Chain A
Amino acid sequence: MITLPEVLSLAALLFCISVAGIFLNRKNILILLMCVELMLLSVNMNFIAFSHFLGDIHGQVFVFFILTVAAAESAIGLAILIVLFRKKNSINVDDLGTMKG
């Protein structure tokens, strides 16, 4: 039998790896998008774990919606990335500071 803390620690470890990835890959916006996908995956895993161990289907409904929004997010993000690459010929995060934000 799998217990809840095992799944939760797996998801926490996955989240920490993707946070570390965002710190490490500051030069490549593509890897940053992949790390965001990994973060969403770990959050989804928490939802599914609680849904399973509490016997409640509503957690899975939330995962469904998160998957939808994440798919939309990555589609728009990649489209913006393509336009940006056409204009600047680079995907370095440091080159994208034109708005001085």
Chain B
Amino acid sequence: MIEQIIFYLFAGMLIFSASMVVVVRNPIHAALFLILSFFASSAIWLLLEAEFLAITLVLVYVGAVMVLFIFVVMMLDINQVTVKEGFARYLPAGIIVAVLMVISMGLVVGSDYFLSERYTATPQLDPNYSNARELGIAIYTQYLFQFEIAGAILLVAIIAAITLGMSKLKINKSINPNKQVFVKKKDRLRIIKMQSEPKAKNGESDA
């Protein structure tokens, strides 16, 4: 019973903060509400006995990704008037699509199928059970290649983000082949007209 009360508390917090992310005017407030929704869903994951992933969500998402979001929001100088311009125009379409999706998903999820015997959780009674250990065993044996691919994806992301960020800065002395091909003689060589110098006297070579 107490478990259910906690679940509904955090579920309400999650839905509230998610809808505030959508409707709020200031992007900084949207980012902060997104952080709140990550915290709420992390609490729900804890209730569902996914302890490692709940902590990972807080550490990786709130600690890294959302800080990145807030950095970007603060770096960009966004005009808030234009940002919310089309809000009223798209409101009916958005609400219609959302309601249709809620109805269709509710028909699927609300059926008795998911209440059946197959989907009742077995309570974890072993005091030595460790979620992180089980997850680690699965990742490092069965999913080893996929884990390495995930590492490669992160490496690509690092390289891509740094390259995109540095594209403006010219830190190397590379040449531009396009400019090099189109260079003309007059860009490099200047021919000037001048009086010829008188011939040097004997013994005074001005070489």
A interface, CB within 8 angstroms of B: 1-10, 12-21, 23-28, 30-31, 33-35, 37-38, 41, 44-45, 48-49, 51-55, 57-58, 60-61, 63-65, 67-76, 78-83, 85-86, 90-92
Number of interface residues of B (CB under 8 A): 85
Query: Which residues does chain A contribute within 8 Å of B167, judged by CB atoms?
Result: 83
Q: Is A37 within 8 A of B22, CB to CB?
A: no
For residue B91, CB closer than 8 A to chain A, the reply is: yes
Q: Is B34 within 8 A of A34, CB to CB?
A: yes
Q: With contacts A48-B45, A83-B164 known, what are 9 further pairs, Cβ within 8 A?
A: A3-B114, A4-B115, A24-B22, A41-B38, A53-B120, A61-B143, A64-B150, A71-B61, A82-B76
Query: Which residues does chain B contribute within 8 Å of A16, judged by CB atoms?
Result: 98, 101-102, 105
Expressed in whole angstroms, the minimum distance between the Cβ of B108 and any Cβ of chain A is: 8
Within 8 A of A (CB), among B83-132: 83-87, 90-91, 93-95, 97-98, 101-102, 105-106, 109-110, 114-115, 118-122, 131
Q: Pick the contact of B72: A24, A45, A78 (CB < 8 A).
A: A78
B71 closest partner in A (C-beta): A78
